[in-house]
Amino acid sequence: MNDIARIRFAHLPTPIEEMPRLSKALGGPRIFVKRDDQTGLAFGGNKTRKLEFLVAEAKALGAKTLISAGAMQSNHCRQTAAAAARFGMECILVLNGQHPEQPSANLLLDFLFNADVVWVADRKDRDAVLQHTYETARVNDCCPYLVPYGGSSPTGALGYAFAVQEYMQQGLKADWIIFGTSSGGTHAGLTLGARLFNCDARILGISIDEPVQALKANVSALASAASEKFGPRIEFTGDDVLANDDYCQAGYGIFGEQEREAINLFASNEGLLLDPVYTGRAAAGMIDLIRRGVIQKNETVLFWHTGGQPALFADKYQPEIL
Ligand SMILES: *Cc1c(COP(=O)(O)O)cnc(C)c1O
């Protein structure tokens, strides 16, 4: 495990803080938050942990350009662009939509980090455009490294396997670890890390945009593949993956009353900021599970904050937050 390539630039360990006023407001269990919104790279977030391993792999392969893809307000793309700038690499991002008149929030930061953006009008063309962009960079001697969606390759997932080791060293014994899950790297890393480092908390991903069955398949495959980097392969199945898709019916990035309430509850009770797409939705799920007694009063919950707050300032969400 010591020969896994990693460049250390995240601010670790991230703090764990208790949220007593939120617990009280919900009449619920003790709730803690793990502050991965404070990982340090360009406003932080969960992608920074993955990028410690992805950038190390890219460098080892002699890459000079990081290429990735996502939504216009992708936190992953913002952190990837920042990592490229930090390590003297070029960055090309394939993003959904078209160049807005006035880039805001994450997109503004992408440009600040000097990323080149390739726009894809239709989301269903994104894979093909990404592949084409990669091929073009390759034949033009740009030495590209393809960072998968959300940084969720087996290599990226390592960031969250080691995050569990960090969490175990911090001494909190939570019954539940709750977070937003989408491309699955965070979920896979946490699931693998729990096995490797003997963490018996229930690792529950609140789906942002995927049905439970798809998440279980993707996360278990990623966790199994990532396990090979530590030693003999551990075969994870869908049964090893806890996921809930009750809160994503509106679709990716569609802001609604549940996200609005969660953001306002965290802000007004704890002075803590959630984001409109991921942590707002994940927290809404946690709040509902507490209210319905699925998470019980005598249990301890860790809300693993995955970042994303720059999107609070995206034009798209501004009118809806309050
Ligand atoms: C990407 C992201 C997630 C989801 O993480 P995955 O590893 O892609 O499942 C959660 N929260 C925020 C803020 C993110 O940017």
pLDDT at residue 178, as a whole number: 98
The encoded tokens of residue 55 equal 């950038």
Same domain? 112 vs 54: yes
Same domain? 123 vs 138: yes
Residue 181 Cβ < 6 Å to ligand 1: yes
CA dihedral 308→313→315→320, nearest 10 degrees, is: 90
CA dihedral 124→127→133→136, nearest 10 degrees, is: -120
- Active site (annotated) includes residue 74: yes
| Rounded distance between C-alpha atoms, residue 115 and residue 123, angstroms | 20
Question: Alpha helices of the chain — where are they, by DSSP H?
Answer: 20-26, 47-60, 75-86, 105-112, 126-139, 154-170, 185-196, 212-227, 257-270, 279-291
In this structure, what CATH number is given to the domain that contains residue 132? 3.40.50.1100
The encoded tokens of residue 14 equal 């991230």
Which of 23, 68, 74, 207 is catalytic? The answer is: 74
**Domain end (from 151, 175, 193):** 151
pLDDT at residue 3, as a whole number: 85
pLDDT at residue 2, as a whole number: 63
Same domain? 186 vs 312: yes
Same domain? 27 vs 57: no
- Check if the beta carbon of residue 241 is closer than 8 Å to that of residue 191: yes
pLDDT at residue 1, as a whole number: 63
**Domain end (from 95, 129, 151):** 151
Q: Is the residue at 296 inside a domain?
A: yes
User: What's the domain range around 307?
Assistant: 16-45+154-320
Residue 75 Cβ < 6 Å to ligand 1: yes
Q: Is the residue at 285 inside a domain?
A: yes
Residue 278 Cβ < 6 Å to ligand 1: yes
| Rounded distance between C-alpha atoms, residue 302 and residue 179, angstroms | 9
pLDDT at residue 265, as a whole number: 98
Residue 205 Cβ < 6 Å to ligand 1: no
CA–centroid distance, residue 182 to ligand 1 (Å): 6
Q: Fill in the amino acid letter for 232.
A: P
CA–centroid distance, residue 82 to ligand 1 (Å): 17
Cα distances (angstroms) measured from residue 85 to each of 73, 78, 145: 19, 11, 14
Residue 306 Cβ < 6 Å to ligand 1: yes
Same domain? 174 vs 97: no
The label of the residue with tokens 């803590």 reads 272
pLDDT at residue 304, as a whole number: 99
Q: What is the pTM of this model?
A: 0.98
Spell out the per-residue pLDDT of the chain, length 322, in tens.
Answer: 668 999 999 999 999 999 999 999 999 899 999 999 999 999 999 999 999 999 999 999 999 999 999 999 999 999 999 999 999 999 999 999 999 999 999 999 999 999 999 999 999 999 999 999 999 999 999 999 999 999 999 999 999 999 999 999 999 999 999 999 999 999 999 999 999 999 999 999 999 999 999 999 999 999 999 999 999 999 999 999 999 999 999 999 999 999 999 999 999 999 999 999 999 999 999 999 999 999 999 999 999 999 999 999 999 998 999 9
Question: Cβ contacts of residue 103 below 8 Å, gap of 6+?
Answer: 110, 111
Question: How many domains is the chain built from?
Answer: 2
**Domain end (from 105, 126, 151):** 151
CA–centroid distance, residue 94 to ligand 1 (Å): 17
